[in-house]
């Protein structure tokens, strides 16, 4: 029996309708922690190369972090993993709420589902009961109604539910998995994998104690951290970010993000300063306006921050007595990207995505893509079912989303993201398809932070904004964890000893975040608390005695293994490029990114060198795999 982990996973075969509990050795946790670290090891070993992402052989894993459920602060995260039908390689999505801790308390460090059911089912894991039950009556319901129905039927309002909505049922490649009444594990298209398996929901409830060690050890680390966090001077910029999140959530950055050039505008072809100015446009969808509708704040499990919020909206065309506060990504993708400044319209779009289980980044980006295609005569009103698609027209958002959710008309193409839509439309539509490796780009411009451009291209799940950037490297105060790194010069003073290159900072940031995700920690916790006690929490929960450098090496191992999955699927890192307009080709002539063109190649190669990977091929060498303890992986992928 492990400490801080259960030492067990649940394997489910939907084809045969069987379940089996599997014991795992302690060594797998010491090598990969939990979360997507554990998930990557299981899937690399058990999903055959070339598996159809929507077929029997793909495995969908639900994996809480190693620290999730142990009482450690900010450690409420869980991840879903599988081969991505959107990118064709490794796929994962990260989510908060309360599901993760209950997965652990139900007795499992992961639930891994393979096969395809003959009819819709849901999986029940409830304090010793493990069963596949009929979900025919739930098929067709949205995810939020599914959660409510299951809680009512089971007579248990405290059970946790992860479900798909209509988008996942219809195999939309931009669909995700929903828990806690509208929180999405959204990226990588894994809702479609769940839909292909005819698995409508996973329901968990547990009461097992997770950690064997005395919880006072974790509580002690918690107290010490909270005392430090209360001293604003120790966190510099992080404390300002903390204040924004507590007051507004991520909506607090939206208005200024457009103005400064951080968020993309007009399908990445415009400039906030000119096309969506703060004085007349972006402020209308910013934090101050959003929280006018807020009725209460909410927090994920064991979060001392609380950036979430419940809203009540009663506006013409938007009656939502209770709805989730939209994140910056949603506000920007349906706002600045389409030039729509009508906040109730965005509230409705957010609710529709949450219920149907759509990735709001991809959905908003797909609508912006369609508008630009229409503007350029590539799409016509005949293609759109009579809709005249125009920039800034709020009236088109809801009907287009309805078509995407229903896979109706133009929505059938847009439901699979912009890369596939552009391939089907033809006529030069690919010029307006803003994706990297098949996944729509997040709402942060790499001309504003070049480190994001490296992460978008080099992450195992391309287009990921929550792994590494130059700003994250500063906010996480990585030099405090790794004194050999030195202090960078981006947001802080130069150190006398060593100033890391941007590539070195990004490499350490990436490995550290991979370790933090394996532990189940929230990115915001890492960013507002640069001195977050990652190693102290893990050591307290497990009884290990590992150093920060040892956990960084585990992060390197997780990163390399996630990449190896995609390499085995034939994805060449050199083929993953950013669209020209994303790097300023041609450069725009107004606003913060004016006349700016970014060449990421030198920074990307510096990043790879600091990972000790081949800087040209963008992959680890056989020797690097071996030194990471991944010799078996090298034997597979280094032959390609």
- pLDDT, tens digit, 9 for 90 and up, residues 482-494: 999 987 654 444 4
Residue 559: is the preceding peptide bond cis (ω within 30°)?
no
Do 475 and 396 have their domain in common? Answer: no
> Does 607 share its domain with 550?
yes
Of 302, 297, 330, 60, the C-alpha closest to 188 is 60
The answer to whether residue 231 sits within a structural domain is no
Residues 473, 422, single domain; the answer is no
pTM score, whole prediction: 0.96
Alpha-carbon distance of 273 to 592, in angstroms, equals: 8
Of 175, 205, 235, the last residue of a domain is 205
Identify whether 141 is part of a domain.
Answer: yes
Q: In terms of residue numbers, what domain contains 475?
A: 450-529+546-637
The CATH number given to whatever domain includes residue 620 is 1.10.599.10
Residue 461 inside a domain? The answer is yes
CATH code at position 392 = 1.10.569.10
Q: What is the distance, to the nearest Å, from the Cα of residue 349 to the centroid of all Cα atoms in its chain?
A: 19
Distance CA 226, CA 589 (A): 46
Cα–Cα distance, 431 to 410 (Å, whole number): 18
Residue 407 lies in a domain: yes
The CA distance from 553 to 535, in Å, is 12
If asked whether residues 131 and 257 sit together in one domain, one would say no
> In the prediction, which pLDDT does 595 show?
67
Same domain for 476 and 436: no
| Residue partners of 466: CB distance under 8 A and separation at least 6 | 94, 513, 523
377 shares a domain with 466: no
Predicted confidence at residue 622, as pLDDT, reads 95
| Per-position b or e across 435-460, b if 16+ CB within 10 A of its CB | bbbbbbbbbbbbbbbbbbbbbbbbbb
H or E segment and range at residue 345: helix 343-356
In contact, 313 and 323? CB cutoff 8 Å: yes
Please state whether beta strands 121-126 and 199-205 pair in parallel, antiparallel, or not at all (unpaired).
Answer: parallel
Q: Are residue 53 and residue 30 in the same domain, yes or no?
A: yes
pLDDT in tens, 369-407: 999 999 999 999 999 999 999 999 999 999 999 999 999
Considering the domain boundaries, does residue 341 fall inside one? yes
**Domain termination site, one of 380, 409, 440:** 440
Distant-in-sequence, close-in-space partners of 193: CB < 8 Å, separation ≥ 6: 53, 54, 58, 60, 82, 83, 85, 91
Beta pairing, strands 129-134 & 177-179: unpaired
Total domains in the chain come to 3
- Considering 393, 412, 440, which residue would you say is the last residue of a domain? 440
**357 in the same domain as 477:** no
Q: What is the pLDDT of residue 493?
A: 43
Residue 282 and residue 354 in one domain: yes
Tell me how far apart the 2 most distant CA atoms of the chain are, in Å: 66
Residues of the chain with pLDDT below 50 are 1-2, 490-496
Would residue 282 count as lying in a domain? yes
- Tell whether 268 and 373 lie within a shared domain: yes
Output the domain CATH number for residue 185: 3.60.9.10
Residues 308 and 430 in one domain: yes
Q: Is residue 511 part of a domain?
A: yes
Same domain, 339 and 199: no
Residue 537 belongs to some domain of the structure: no
């Amino acid at each position: 029996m492990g400490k801080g982990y259960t030492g067990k996973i649940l394997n489910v075969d939907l084809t045969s309708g069987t379940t089996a509990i599997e014991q795992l050795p302690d060594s797998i946790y010491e090598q990969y922690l939990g979360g997507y670290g554990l998930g990557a090891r299981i899937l690399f070993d058990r999903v055959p190369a070339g598996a159809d992402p929507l077929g029997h052989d793909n495995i969908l894993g639900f994996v809480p972090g190693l620290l999730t459920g142990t009482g450690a602060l900010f450690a409420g995260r869980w991840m879903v993993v599988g081969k991505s039908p959107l990118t064709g390689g490794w796929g994962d999505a990260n989510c908060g709420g309360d599901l993760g801790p209950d997965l652990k308390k139900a007795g499992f460090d992961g639930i891994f589902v393979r096969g395809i059911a003959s009819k819709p089912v849901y999986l029940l894991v409830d304090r010793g009961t493990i069963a596949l039950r009929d979900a025919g009556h739930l098929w067709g319901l949205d995810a939020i109604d599914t959660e409510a129905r299951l809680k009512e039927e089971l007579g248990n309002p405290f059970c946790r539910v992860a479900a798909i909505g209509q988008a996942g049922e219809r195999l939309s490649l931009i669909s995700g998995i929903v828990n806690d009444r509208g929180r999405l594990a959204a990226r990588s298209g894994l809702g479609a994998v769940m839909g292909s398996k005819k698995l409508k929901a996973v329901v968990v409830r547990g009461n097992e104690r997770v950690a064997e060690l005395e919880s006072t050890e974790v509580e002690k680390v918690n107290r010490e951290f909270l005392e430090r966090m209360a001293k604003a001077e120790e966190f510099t910029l992080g404390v300002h970010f903390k204040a924004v999140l507590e007051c507004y959530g991520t909506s607090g950055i939206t208005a200024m993000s457009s103005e400064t050039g951080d968020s993309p505008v007009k399908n990445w072809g415009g400039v906030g300063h000119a096309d969506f100015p703060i004085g007349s446009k972006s402020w209308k969808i910013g934090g101050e306006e959003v929280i006018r509708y807020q009725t209460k704040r909410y927090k994920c499990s064991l979060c001392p921050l609380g950036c979430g919020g419940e809203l009540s909206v009663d506006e013409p065309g938007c009656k939502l007595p209770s709805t989730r506060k939209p994140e910056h990504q949603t506000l920007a993708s349906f706002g600045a990207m389409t030039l729509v400044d009508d906040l109730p319209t965005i509230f409705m779009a957010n609710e529709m995505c949450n219920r149907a289980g759509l990735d709001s980044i991809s959905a908003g980006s797909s609508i912006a893509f369609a508008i630009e295609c229409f503007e350029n005569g590539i799409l016509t009103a005949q293609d759109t079912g009579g809709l005249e698609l125009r920039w800034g027209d709020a009236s088109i958002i809801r009907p287009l989303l309805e078509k995407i959710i229903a896979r109706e008309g133009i929505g059938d193409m847009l439901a699979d993201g912009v890369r596939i839509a552009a391939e089907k439309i033809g006529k030069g539509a690919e010029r307006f398809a803003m994706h990297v490796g098949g996944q729509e780009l997040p709402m942060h411009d790499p001309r504003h932070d070049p480190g994001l451009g490296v992460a978008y291209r080099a992450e195992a799940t391309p287009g990921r904004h929550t792994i590494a950037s130059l700003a994250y490297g500063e906010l996480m105060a990585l030099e405090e964890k790794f004194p050999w790194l030195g202090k960078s010069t981006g947001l802080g003073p130069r150190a006398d000893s060593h100033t890391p290159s941007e590539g070195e900072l990004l490499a350490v940031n990436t490995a550290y975040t991979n370790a933090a995700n394996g532990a189940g920690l929230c990115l915001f916790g890492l960013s507002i608390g640069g001195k977050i006690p990652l190693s102290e929490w893990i050591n307290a929960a497990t009884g290990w005695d590992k150093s920060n450098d040892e956990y960084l090496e585990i992060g390197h191992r997780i990163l390399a293994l996630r990449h190896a999955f995609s390499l085995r699927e034939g994805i060449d890192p050199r083929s993953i490029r950013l669209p020209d307009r994303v790097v300023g080709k041609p450069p725009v002539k107004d606003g913060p990114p004016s006349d700016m063109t970014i060449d990421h190649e030198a920074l990307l190669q510096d990043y790879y060198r600091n990972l000790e990977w081949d800087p040209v091929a963008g992959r680890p060498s056989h020797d690097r795999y071996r030194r990471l303890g991944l010799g078996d992986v090298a034997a597979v992928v280094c032959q390609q």
